[in-house]
Structures are given as C-alpha cells and as structure tokens.
Structure 1
C-alpha cells in the first residue's frame, strides 16, 4: 500500500476569516462524543477574541483535546493563550473534584465515629459549609437522605460534573471575560452537569435550614453555658446563601437566550441525530433553549458552505467515487431525519475536511462556517 500523506493548509484569505462573533456572552457547545464540539468551541473562541473581546474558552470534558486543537498548552486555571488577542483558556481538571463542592473534608486519622473536621470559610466539603461536619456523620447523612451521601463522607458519583459546575459558577461571573465559550463533555455528562443546579440547590436549602436550626440551638446553649460560636454559624449560613444565589444566577443565565446560546453539534449520521434530538428534548425540560444546531463533517464543497473558494480544499467526489456517493446518501437520509430538529433554529454546516482540523488557520475556516 502506498504511503498516505496530508499536506497542511498554509494560509487562507484573512478577509474571509471572521473577526468577532454574533453571539451572546455565554456560548455552550454540546452533543455526542466525537462530533467536533472542541473544534467548534476553539474556533468560536478565536473568532470572538479577534475583535478584542476578552474571551475564555472552557473545556469541561474530562478527555481534554482543547490544547491539541489550539496547538498550545491550556492550563487548569484560566490563563492567557495569545499575546496579540485577548484569548484565554482553561481545561477543568477532573482531579479538582477532590476540592470541589462535594468533597469530604474529614481527617479520618483524627476523627472518631460520628465526628467531622472543622471546615474553613468557603470550604464546601463535609467539614466545610461553615462547620456542618460538626453535627456527626450519622445526623448529616440522615439530613441528606442517607445512602452514603457525599456530604456525609461518601463518594460522589459524577464528581467531575460537580467540579465543573463549581468552576463554571466562578468563571461565568468572572469580570475579566466578556464572553465565555464552553466545550461541554459528551451528552450524558452534560445532562448530569445541568441537573446539578437543582441537586445543589436542594442540598443547600436543606443545609441552610439545618444550620439555622443549629444556630438557634447553639444560641440557647451559649446562654446556658456562657459560650457559643454564633459568628461562625452565621458565616456558614451566609456562605450557603451566597452559593444558592450563584446557582440561581447560572440557572437564569442558561435559560435566557439573550445571555446564552446552547449550540448542539452533530454529524449527519442516524445515531447522532437521535442523540441530538434526545439532548434538545432534555434541554427543553430544563428550560434551556437551543438556538443553533451545527452539522459537522458534511460531504459538501467549502464554497457551498462559506463562500470560500480555496484551491487546497478537496471535496468528496460524489459523482465518480462510489464510496463518497454512498456516504453522501447516508448523510442525506440523516439530514432528512433531522428536519424537525432544524426547524426554527439556526443551522450551521461545517464540511468534511481532508486536512487535520487544528491550529489557527483551519480553525479560522471553521469559524467562517459557523459565522
């Protein structure tokens, strides 16, 4: 077999590459794994920053590829990626879940049965929440419904999503950025991420009620024994109220199309269409509108999609190549199936490229397709 080589695209007409994007301050890309969410997020982030808009690109996918797509190291905390344009990036590290909102903060070497470690302000672990761990693990587990609840020191299923939610709450409120573009994890992870505001809100409400009750009890005991830690109690309740307010702001932002555009990315294949329909349906249940659907890897000519007429682009030959023709038929059937998904939404098409899609040049081409 002869060796296959792919020549890199050296340049495109800069006049054709978008400067800035027509999008609200939050843009989220979601969909089935492997459909090109990271590529779309990176392309949108680059285009957004090209007009001087301070833009943060966030990856919440545990299997990160943002660094590879942008061809630069993306840090675990927001950092500037380019000197010439205000482009910032962050790949949320799944290991951060250990310090996330559901991580227990108990020193088992010192704490006996029913004892919890004293938390510090802002610590959202079991011993955090302003000292919720002091009530004893049995009581806390009963308060939270039992079943080895993470705040009672058990393991937290979906800790990656919990860490991502905690950091999203922080980044979406960060005044340094005018726009935040989010590359979400595959569909199942994304839905669990979107469920977390309700889960956390419920937990915060129950813990706040508990803390209020404990505050009153401690006040009474303080009167009896001449002591009490009312200030710490009040600080813990205040911290919980602040978290609850942040959750509500995030929920409101995700539901407001003037603030957030949730873009579903799919490829023209039946299973991708089915999963995209399922995702859109669940998002609607959450009250989150989907304004844009991106169809990636379509067997079309670049000129038909963007107006580019570049010599380097090689379109699938659906007239003379039997394989290309059959693949195009499969895609056409999938696109026909997706008509109800497209109805009432802005549909963007990105062609199937022969070249690797990474680096500024190719991402500029993708951003033109998304423009």
Structure 2
C-alpha cells in the first residue's frame, strides 16, 4: 500500500517502470498490469500506460490503434470502463523539439539572431561552440528521456492515479536513467549564458550607438533559454522521482534463459546502484514440470519427453540463479537505503513466475487474465494499493503513480491475425482515421503538453 500512499501524501502521480531484455514480454507485462489496475474492483484507479520504446507494440498488445493520435487514447471496453488510457509516444518527435531549441545556440545562427553585429569568434570564446557537439550527436537515451519528462509533467500526468511505463530495452533504459544528472549540469552551463549574452549585447550596443539600440534584439534566443530552463526543471524532477521509493517502482521482466537472466541481474544491480527501487522481478514463459507427456510412443515420443525434461531442468536452474541474485541484492545496504526507511524496507525483491502460454494473449480481456495471474496477491498489493488512513478527502487532487516496465528489445515481424468468429471485438470509441484497419480508441481533448 506504500506506493499509492506516498503519491497521495506528496501530491505526485505514482509511476511503475517495466523494463528488461528485448523479447521477454515486457509490453505484455506492462499492459496486463495496467489492465489489472484499471479493472480491479474497489480501487477505482485512472490508469495511463505509456510506451517509450521506438519499436512500439503496446497498441498490438491492447488490440487498438494508437498510431492515429499523439494524445492518450481512452479505451472503451467494459472491463476497464474508460479508466484505462494508452499512449505510444514518439521519442524522435520529442527530441526534435528539444534540438530545435538547442540549434538556436549554433554560433552562426546565434550571431545573426542577436540583432547586433557580433563576431562568431566572440561567441565561441563564451563557450557556445561546445554545444554544437550535443546538437549534432545527442547522447543515447536522450530521446526517451525528453519524451518521458513530457509525460510526467504535472500538466499532463495529474489527471491519472497511476502511470505504467513500458520502457525500451535494457541498455537504452539504463542510459536514459543516467542522463538527468548529465543534462542537469549541461543545462546549468547553458543557462548561465543568459547573463553573458545580455551583457554582450549591452556592450556592443554601447559601442555601436543609437542605431544598435533602436534595433530590438530578437526574442528567439530568450524563448529557447526559457524552454530549456523548463526542461531542466522537468529533468531534475524526473531524476528525483526515480529515486523516491514513495513515488516510483521498477519491475524487471525476464525469461529463464542464460542471456536474459544475466542481463536481468545486471539491470537489477545497476538500478540499485542508481538509487532506483526494484520491487518485483517477473519471469515469463516458465514451463511446468507436469507436461511433456503428449509426445506419443516410440523413439520420437521419448525424444520429446527428454527434450521437455531438459528444458524444465534448464529453466529451474536459471530461475534459481535469478532468485538468488535478487535475494543477494535485497540484503545489500544499497537496496535497503533505496527503500527510504518506509515499511517496505525489510521486504526482498518479489520474484514472480508466469507460466508459458501456447497462445498470444492479445486484447484487454486476455491481458486482464494475465494481469490477475501475475500480480494477484502480495506483489500486486505492494504496487497498487491506497492507504485508507491517508488524509485525502473527496476534493483531494488525483495524484497518479508511475509504473515503469522494461526488458530486452526484440525484432519481431508482426503477423497478420485472421478474424475468428469466436473472438468478438470489444467496444471502442471511434477516432477518425484515413484508413482504419483495426479497433480504435478515443483520444482525450488536445491538452497534452
């Protein structure tokens, strides 16, 4: 009950990040968690699930078209009853807007936009030329960071109770999480140029006389500085929230293979080192020990049973490896300090096994089933419950939580699904599209900043 309680008391939307290696099912986990939250009786939560992965599959998982609008889409199915919204953000578009502000500090453009005759060499001496490398070659993860900062801006997030974030693959996510500290220093340096530029303009105007004074400096540079200052504030706030156990949890998704387990162990270690609380590890595609008897008789049947036993034994080995690693991290001083001294401090990372399903779980009803199997009980309670004793009256603001889902990236070619008479399409609120080929969801009014 700690995460929602912390969000209510602090006036912030709780966030759950879901991450991990590509192809481990993090989108299925994040979307099923969002469906479970939005459909759980008694909670009455308004939930937003967001994908920041450039290779989006959130719309495929929910079986709705999220590409037709840049605004969050409200799902109209009976299970979530319009309490669930979904959004696939375009990190490249968000980065383009950020770079547009930085490009105004190109030496040549800045020289012509100040409204006075300033030598580019003089601007280089102020250190502006050092910014050009970031403009030309932004660091990896910057696009996702900018997009996530926009999503978590209170002007956008305050209408939700919980936000679930489906992240990009592990490496990209780690770089993104480490960027706020770097950007904070960079933007501080950039913003100190405001005073220097104003002093430079005043000096040049004084020497050039009244003609220069009557020529009003253009406001584009000042506007860019204001926009960057606003982004600096949001980036610093994002960093603070990521390290706040009362506002943020990270769910790591894995599968029981050597590559995925090794990457998940590194992810848990690095997140803990960054001061980010890992609350749960979900292990997907776990094969049960009671199967493998349907291979038939003869050599082929025996070979199938041997293969199945080897697969079960191999999976149990790597599940044990990951469970032991989580227990070791849970006992570390770093992990306990990340708990912030709350009632969750003594709890280890919760490792949850999800069985292998021989069919794709697509659409809200199927994801609701998966979410119930995965997050029912103690783990779900830890992530998404409110403290009934919290001092939050009926007029208190809605303060959403943030859940981030992540995992390893994958390259999967989408398959065409044939319509089945037994599979009914769920009701959706139509959204205008030039070529609607699948169910759509309604976009909220254009208030997304």
Bucket of the pairwise TM-score, normalised by the shorter protein: 0.7 to 0.9
The alignment yields a C-alpha RMSD, in angstroms, of 3.5
User: Could you say which residue in structure 2 is the equivalent of 1:317?
Assistant: 292
Query: Does the CA contact (< 8 Å) of 1:23 and 1:261 recur in 2?
Result: no
How has the CA–CA distance of structure 1 residues 101 and 353 changed in structure 2, closer, same or farther, with 3 Å as cutoff?
same
User: Could you say which residue in structure 2 is the equivalent of 1:218?
Assistant: 201
User: Could you say which residue in structure 1 is the equivalent of 2:271?
Assistant: 283
Report the 3-state secondary structure (helix = DSSP H, G, I; strand = E; otherwise coil) of the residue aligned with 1:64. coil
- 1:356 to 2:360 alignment: yes
Give matches, 1:19-30, under 5 Å. Answer: 25-30=14-19
Specify which of 51, 75, 81 is matched with residue 82 of structure 1. 75
Q: Deviations over 1:145-174 (max 9, x none)?
A: 8495133xx24353xx32322221121122
* Alpha-carbon shift at residue 63 of structure 1 (Å): 1.3
Cα distance in 2 for residues equivalent to 1:243 and 1:135:
29
Query: Does the CA contact (< 8 Å) of 2:28 and 2:61 recur in 1?
Result: yes
Cα distance in 1 for residues equivalent to 2:178 and 2:29:
24
How has the CA–CA distance of structure 1 residues 140 and 263 changed in structure 2, closer, same or farther, with 3 Å as cutoff?
farther
Give matches, 1:156-171, under 5 Å. Answer: 156-158=138-140, 161-171=141-151
- 1:73 to 2:62 alignment: no
Cα distance in 1 for residues equivalent to 2:5 and 2:191:
41
TM-score normalized with structure 2 length: 0.63
User: Could you say which residue in structure 2 is the equivalent of 1:17?
Assistant: none
Query: Does the CA contact (< 8 Å) of 1:269 and 1:334 recur in 2?
Result: yes
How has the CA–CA distance of structure 1 residues 265 and 199 changed in structure 2, closer, same or farther, with 3 Å as cutoff?
same
User: Could you say which residue in structure 1 is the equivalent of 2:108?
Assistant: 115
Query: Does the CA contact (< 8 Å) of 1:45 and 1:55 recur in 2?
Result: yes
How has the CA–CA distance of structure 1 residues 141 and 91 changed in structure 2, closer, same or farther, with 3 Å as cutoff?
farther
Q: Which runs of 5+ in 1 are unaligned?
A: 1-20, 108-112, 120-126, 302-314
- 1:296 to 2:280 alignment: no
How has the CA–CA distance of structure 1 residues 251 and 223 changed in structure 2, closer, same or farther, with 3 Å as cutoff?
same
Query: Does the CA contact (< 8 Å) of 2:107 and 2:129 recur in 1?
Result: no
Give matches, 1:21-170, under 5 Å. Answer: 25-50=14-39, 51-75=43-67, 77-83=70-76, 84-97=81-94, 99-103=96-100, 114-116=107-109, 136=120, 139=123, 143=127, 146=130, 149-151=133-135, 154-158=136-140, 161-170=141-150
How has the CA–CA distance of structure 1 residues 244 and 332 changed in structure 2, closer, same or farther, with 3 Å as cutoff?
same
Q: Deviations over 1:90-148 (max 9, x none)?
A: 112244156232357769xxxxx9521699xxxxxxx9xx99xx985995698368495
TM-score normalized with structure 1 length: 0.75
User: Could you say which residue in structure 1 is the equivalent of 2:335?
Assistant: none
Query: Does the CA contact (< 8 Å) of 2:256 and 2:285 recur in 1?
Result: yes
Cα distance in 2 for residues equivalent to 1:276 and 1:268:
10
Cα distance in 2 for residues equivalent to 1:201 and 1:238:
15
User: Could you say which residue in structure 2 is the equivalent of 1:274?
Assistant: 262
* Alpha-carbon shift at residue 73 of structure 1 (Å): 0.8
- 1:250 to 2:254 alignment: no
**Larger RCO of the pair (alpha carbons < 8 Å, separation 6+):** 2
* Alpha-carbon shift at residue 235 of structure 1 (Å): 5.2
Query: Does the CA contact (< 8 Å) of 1:56 and 1:78 recur in 2?
Result: no
Cα distance in 2 for residues equivalent to 1:88 and 1:189:
25
How has the CA–CA distance of structure 1 residues 323 and 23 changed in structure 2, closer, same or farther, with 3 Å as cutoff?
farther
User: Could you say which residue in structure 1 is the equivalent of 2:333?
Assistant: none
How has the CA–CA distance of structure 1 residues 215 and 141 changed in structure 2, closer, same or farther, with 3 Å as cutoff?
closer
How has the CA–CA distance of structure 1 residues 26 and 136 changed in structure 2, closer, same or farther, with 3 Å as cutoff?
farther
How has the CA–CA distance of structure 1 residues 135 and 367 changed in structure 2, closer, same or farther, with 3 Å as cutoff?
farther
Alignment size in residue pairs: 319
Report the 3-state secondary structure (helix = DSSP H, G, I; strand = E; otherwise coil) of the residue aligned with 1:100. helix
How has the CA–CA distance of structure 1 residues 316 and 66 changed in structure 2, closer, same or farther, with 3 Å as cutoff?
farther
Specify which of 344, 366, 370 is matched with residue 370 of structure 2. 366
